[in-house]
Amino acid sequence: MIPKCVLVTGGSGFVAGHCILQLLEQGHFVRSTLRSLAKEAMVRDILQNAGMVHSDRLSFVAADLLRDDGWTKAMAGMNVVLHVASPVQPGQVASEDEVIIPAREGTLRVLRAARAAGVKRVVLTSAFHAVSWGHPHDGHMFTEADWTILDGPGVDAYGKSKTLAERAAWDFIATEGGGLELTTMLPVAVMGPVMGKDVSGANHIVQRMLEGAMPVVPNLFIPVVDVRDVASAHVMAMTNPAAAGERFLLSNGRALSLKEIGAIIRAALGDAARRVPMRALPNFLVRIAARFNTEMRPFVPDLGYAKKTSNDKAQRVLGWTPREPREAIIAAATSLAGRTG
């Protein structure tokens, strides 16, 4: 493979970090954006500790999703952009615009800069939140053809932000994209080995279990995908001709209940997982608690419901083969166990 010059947005992020590691391992030249270059040394140290190779092929540039400054410099000479950066604030927020506007406007800012620089393809990190929220519980098998129903039950600001940002991206490509190609990635709950001190994605669930912050769990089901597989799908999609103009749902079989996730952690970590919950809270108690606790309200519509997902398209088109969810859960728990005492 001829090395590419790849821009990865949000280089201090969880998925972005794993993308950078894999791109460098494959010999590509990587430039990554940070809101402030004051973070560069820290991010380099984190990547180095995670096994980074070819560090001389990695550079950084300052650019913020909310500002035009820096994006022309960031895009200069790039063949491909992996636009991974996006606000992550699931649950309740003071104003939905705090999440929606940066996600949508930031995505459009990146696409405009990529088009102006003559970039060939942008691979955008969307989310399962743009696919499956707000739908009836009828046993439907979710695929890339589905979109979240914005006014449906259980749709929070984060779900709206991912849906609206991706919709805006496709609209831009259709009306203003010129020759720019777009591919979008729709990962389910992302878990896996943590790099650095920050904990992101669905790893927060594992962290809270290990800390004993969840003495019991609601009867919720989570479809899990490994962050390393999410990164590999991004890298595959950036050069595969058949990926242009496509969405890819990144999932791995059936959803696991929080109780099952806890059991996997306990079996793998033994005494280090002594605080991990073993019991599920009855649904009626969760519904009662949600009347008084706004943080619990988004859970109520999905109590007891395991969403079905298909990764057939990613396997067929990209040649993508994900790990078992157990591997992602154990990797996350192992990397977090030393922090919880």
- pLDDT in the model for residue 2: 75
Give residue for tokens 């992020």.
13
- pLDDT in the model for residue 222: 94
Q: What's the number of domains the chain is made of?
A: 1
Q: How far apart are CA 286 and CA 297, in angstroms?
A: 9
For residue 280, give the CATH number of its domain: 3.40.50.720
pTM comes to 0.94
Range of the domain at 248: 5-340
Tell me the sheet residues that pair with 122.
81, 182
- pLDDT in the model for residue 289: 78
Q: How far apart are CA 166 and CA 313, in angstroms?
A: 19
- pLDDT in the model for residue 283: 82
Between the two ends of the chain, the Cα-to-Cα distance in Å is 45
DSSP 92-136: --S-THHHHHHHHHHHHHHHHHHHHHT-SEEEEE--GGGTSTT--
- pLDDT in the model for residue 1: 64
- pLDDT in the model for residue 198: 86
The distance from CA 318 to its chain's CA centroid, rounded to whole angstroms, is 18
Per-residue pLDDT of the chain (341 residues; tens, 9 = 90+): 677 899 999 999 999 999 999 999 999 999 999 999 999 999 999 999 999 999 999 999 999 998 999 999 999 999 999 999 876 555 556 678 888 888 899 999 999 999 999 999 999 999 999 999 999 999 899 999 999 999 888 788 888 999 999 999 999 999 999 999 999 999 999 999 999 888 888 999 999 999 998 888 989 999 999 999 999 999 999 999 999 999 999 998 789 999 999 999 999 999 999 999 999 888 888 788 778 777 677 778 788 899 999 999 999 999 999 999 999 999 999 999 866 55
- pLDDT in the model for residue 109: 97
Note whether 228 and 302 are within 8 A (CB).
no
Note whether 128 and 223 are within 8 A (CB).
yes
